[in-house]
Amino acid sequence: MKAKAIVKITVCIVMTVMLLALTACVNQQNNENDPGQSLIDPTDKKDDTIELFAMDTYMTIKAFGNHAQPALQEAATRIHELELLWSVTNPDSEIYALNHGDGSTIEVNPATAEALSFASIMADRTDGAFDFTVYPVLAAWGFTTGSYQIPAQAELDILLERVGHEKVLIEGERVTLPKDTQIDLGAVAKGYTADIVTAILKKDGITSALIDLGGNIQVIGFKPDGSKWRVGIKDVYGEGNVGVLEAADCAVVSSGGYERYFVGADGKTYWHIIDPSTGAPADSGLVSVTVIGKDGRFCDALSTALFVMGLQKAEKHWRSYGDFGMILMTRDNELYITEGLEEDFTLDKSRADMAVHILRKSD
Ligand code: AMP
Ligand code: MG
């Protein structure tokens, strides 16, 4: 099933990449019944869509309203700028410069400084379950190159000495990493980017839009017909969605082992989300986590962190902070949904047998 899924995803990505020739393109999506309609739409119901491949992700942004194209073009340009700043592999990126700076202090772009400060706050808040310095461990497993392997625990223990968000010194836009520390904004970059795209679209007066950056969905307002957006929550064990969440003016971000993984010679599945306390792929009993909240960056960092924490700690985190909603899927095929979301969530018919639990503050 998983091999099939990989083939499907690969075919889909290859086709998409061929189609887009790896470049951003803006299509005016006219009303299907009237493909010749012009850009100016007095009914304000037409959408402009931009599709691009960036940050290793196939992205689609759909904005409704008049003259959305300039805003979409600006968003695409900004996405590529951020990709260049934050790539871990591109020698021209700021993250690459920091990771290879041999302990020197580097002055970074305000966006990078802000993203790193935010990542530090989230690392603190999650007691290091989210830790953007986990990169050397990730590399040892081969997730950065695709040359997968299972490192010995002794090797991981040595690498873990280099991990720890508190080692990163951020003074305004001046950032210092100890010589052996390496960072990776992979768990927060797309959420952060979605926030920036949202701000660009809103600045240009767009009040209805869908920003889909892979597993990161962000919606502005409602659909033009006044209804909520329907966001599919991927079924880890099935082909389609476990259910659909109706959402407006928020971010819906999922983390899951299904996104990138390999099966070791021992037959076990190892995925790309690392538990910084062990150096191994998180083995918390959760197979997918979706966080619903106001900001993409916040939901993105948190979905990764809660995936590492597991059901009990995630629930405790929700009870202590209460500033987000979540949908957790466990290895045992159970779904946990925080109160309030159940009204907007519809379980897929194919999963009608699934046990769904509502987490309530009063319990
Ligand atoms: P996400 O899909 O947002 O959950 O992010 C997963 C990506 O974040 C991985 O591919 C790694 O690049 C990075 N990562 C893995 N584990 C962690 C962690 N515990 N904290 C922060 N980033 C991580
Ligand atoms: Mg994340």
C-beta 56 within 6 A of ligand 1: no
Q: What is the pLDDT of residues 198-230, one digit of tens each?
A: 999 999 999 999 999 987 999 999 999 999 999
- Alpha carbon of 303 to ligand 2 centroid (Å): 5
For residue range 45-57, list pLDDT tens digits in order. Answer: 678 999 999 999 9
Closest CA to 346 of 231, 209, 200: 231
**187 vs 244: CA distance, rounded Å:** 23
pLDDT value at residue 82: 98
pLDDT in tens, 262-302: 999 999 999 999 999 999 999 999 999 999 999 999 999 99
In whole angstroms, what is the distance from residue 331 CA to residue 287 CA? 6
User: Helix (H, G, I), strand (E, B), or coil: what is residue 250?
Assistant: strand
- pTM for the model stands at 0.88
Q: Which residues have a beta carbon within 5 Å of ligand 2, which is an ion?
A: 187, 300, 303-304
- Element holding 93 (H helix, E strand): none
Least confident residue range of 12-16, 60-64, 90-94, 102-106: 12-16
Contact 150, 140 (CB under 8 A): no
- Residue with the smallest CA separation from ligand 1 atom 23 is 187
Query: Can you tell me the distance from the alpha carbon of 173 to that of 133, in angstroms, rounded to the nearest whole number?
Result: 18
